Amino acid sequence: MKIRGLWLAVPWVLFVLLALGWVFYWNYLGNEAERRVRAWAFEQEAAGGTANIGAVVRHGFPVLMRLELQNIEYAPARGGWRATTRRADLNVDVLNPQHVILKAEGPIAVARSNGSVTNVTADALIGSLRTSGDSLAAAGIEGDNIVLDDPAQEGMLHVRKLVLNVRPDARAAGEYQLAFDAQDLVLPRPVRSFEGFGQDVASIRAAIVIEDGGALVRAADNDPLGPWREAGGRLRFEALTLNWGPLETTGTGEGGLDEQRRLNGRLVIPIDRPAPVLTAIANGPNVDDDARRALGLLAAGYLVTGDDITLDVGAHDGVLNIEGIPVRPLPPVY
């Protein structure tokens, strides 16, 4: 009977040991996650940036690990901007601690060096990061009903649904794949040279390859994209789908920045019904008279023939060209 009673106690002993082991692991994971957050903040400060985090509160025991980060302030060393928010939650996968999810729990204020401020609000705004050792495996942002508001500027940018994912491109070392999908956008103001398209954009989707992506982290003072450009950085648009006003198309192209930080590249855009697109561009208030007449003639010709067109949009030497017709000068991106 004693032996039988001992065997009956074994499962309970194992259960207690497993429970104690899980409690130890959960607290170890919490300590390690908080240590890594503090270490990251220290590294940013040591590099000349700012990374302040107030209280860190743990939640989720026993099956979840969530760190509530309060009163966050972050500014990269050479980024020229600063972000602040009252709270964000860092969720750690207890079975794969290299996968973390950051969820904004309040508005985010982004202040730039020129004094302008953009307030970001959303019904949901989530960022995720998955690493493999010390290397990036995948990162992404997903948001619902995102609003970007600059009080000093007219209008607000609204996006009903945003999904953005980045991962290393297995086809070439140093390159990254960027997938972008934005649905139901309302632009804060008309886009110059495309005013006739309106401010409502049904969807934008893009599959982009970032060449020399590692250079993007080497931002220079007042020149955040300079090191990337000097390293030969370019964007390859393997697919760019636009549903905006009269334009419904999927194109390809490539682009980057010239020495004066102006756009430099080319998009090839097949269009089934080119006449409304060319007419909308020609009617823009910032198109010069010669370009307006040339685009109008092109539109009239395609309206008569009903032919489709592969529209060539180029940016070279600081000038935006459509079908080889100079439309307007291009200022530096920053």
- Structure-token pair, residue 115: 């004094």
Per-residue CA distances from 244 to 198, 202, 203, 306 (Å) = 8, 6, 7, 21
Residue with tokens 């040339």: 294
Position 216 pLDDT exceeds 90? no
Which stretch of 45-54, 172-181, 253-262 has the lowest confidence by average pLDDT?
A: 45-54
Stretch 166-172: mean pLDDT: 94
Stretch 218-240: mean pLDDT: 88
Residue 1 binned pLDDT confidence (cut-offs 50, 70, 90) = very low
Residue 262 binned pLDDT confidence (cut-offs 50, 70, 90) = very high
Check: CB of residue 110 under 8 Å from CB of residue 81: yes
pLDDT recorded at residue 253: 97
Position 221 pLDDT exceeds 90? no
pLDDT recorded at residue 8: 62
CA–CA gap between residue 296 and residue 213 (Å, rounded)? 41
Task: Write out the E strands in the chain.
Answer: 50-52, 56-59, 65-75, 81-92, 99-104, 108-112, 117-121, 124-132, 135-149, 156-168, 176-186, 200-210, 235-244, 247-257, 263-271, 309-316, 319-322, 325-329
Q: What is the pTM (predicted TM-score) of this model? A: 0.83
Position 6 pLDDT exceeds 70? no
Stretch 43-72: mean pLDDT: 91
Check: CB of residue 328 under 8 Å from CB of residue 320: yes
Check: CB of residue 315 under 8 Å from CB of residue 321: yes
pLDDT recorded at residue 5: 54
Domain range summary for the chain, segments of one domain joined by +: 1-152
Position 24 pLDDT exceeds 90? no
Q: Please spell the DSSP secondary structure of 193-249, one letter per residue.
A: T-GGG-SEEEEEEEEEEETTGGGGG--BTTBTTHHHHHTT--EEEEEEEEEETTEEE
Residue 63 binned pLDDT confidence (cut-offs 50, 70, 90) = confident
Q: What are phi and psi of 117, to 5 degrees?
A: -130, 135
Chain centroid to CA 135: 19
- CA torsion sign, 246 to 314 to 155 to 249? positive
**The 3-state secondary structure of 104-138, one letter per residue:** ECCCEEEEECCCCEEEEECCEEEEEEEEECCEEEE
What is the average pLDDT value for the chain, to the nearest integer?
90
Position 214 pLDDT exceeds 50? yes
| CA-atom Rg of the chain in angstroms | 26
Residue 4 binned pLDDT confidence (cut-offs 50, 70, 90) = low
Stretch 314-323: mean pLDDT: 92
The larger pLDDT score, comparing residue 154 to residue 288, is at: 154
